[in-house]
Amino acid sequence: MDRFTIVDDERAAEIPARLTGGRVLLDPAALKDTLGWEMHDGLLCSDAMCIPVADDAALVREGGIDLEGFARTLDRALAVDVEEHAAFLGGSARERAQALASQHAPDFTLPDLDGRPHSLSEQRGKKILLVAWASW
């Protein structure tokens, strides 16, 4: 078994995986221990929710959880680098679009120059000018 790193938000989980025919098959027990997801009775479940699995065979292969099928079931964008043994789970287009269409400003928490975290929601009750900029 190889070790594969899955980056999900700020977490980087190392999960034993088998690489076969361009596919990444994750160890189910390790997936549960690290990212908190497990398969049972045709459902992919975490502590918070269960998602019905449309195509069992595409998700569970040779005793492993197929990484692409896993991301598709969670409706997450996926980038994979098989050589580097690393993957990134990104945001769902559907979720992001729904959130923006609701016109509620999505909350976020980011650090300042001293590493102190600040959240948008701390400013509730004020009018806010939010500016994205960069030195480049």
Partner 1 sequence: MITVALDKTADDARPWIEAASPTHPTLIDPRHVLADLYNVVNVPTIFWIDERGRIVRPNDVAFGADTFKHITGLESARHLAALRAWVRGEGPALSADEVRRHQPLPTEDHQRARAEFGLGQWLWTQGRTAAAERHFVRGGELAPHDFTIRRGTMPMRGIDSMGPQFREMLQTWVGAGQPYYRPLPDTAGASGSGSAR
The contact set with partner 1 (CB under 8 A) reads 7, 10, 12, 76-81, 83-84, 86-93, 96-97, 99-101, 103-106, 108, 110-113, 115, 118, 120-121, 123-136
* Alpha carbon 69 to chain centroid, angstroms: 13
The torsion region of residue 7 among left (phi > 0), alpha (psi -120 to 50) and beta comes to: beta
Q: For residue 4, which of 66, 61, 56 has the smallest C-alpha distance?
A: 66
50 or 74: whose CB is closer to partner 1? 74
> Which CB atom, from 20 or from 108, has the smaller least distance to partner 1?
108
Question: Please, what is the minimum distance in Å from the beta carbon of residue 90 to partner 1?
Answer: 3
Q: What's the Cα-to-Cα distance from 88 to each of 53, 92, 105, rounded to whole Å?
A: 21, 12, 25
- Nearer Cβ to partner 1, position 45 or 90? 90
Q: How far is the CB of 12 from partner 1 (least distance, A)?
A: 7
Min dist. Cβ of residue 64 to partner 1 (A): 21
Judged by beta carbon, residue 57 or residue 103, the one nearer partner 1 is 103
Supply the minimum distance, in Å, between the C-beta of residue 100 and partner 1. 6
The DSSP letter of residue 90 is -
Tokens of 20: 């076969």
Q: Tokens in use for 4? A: 């594969």
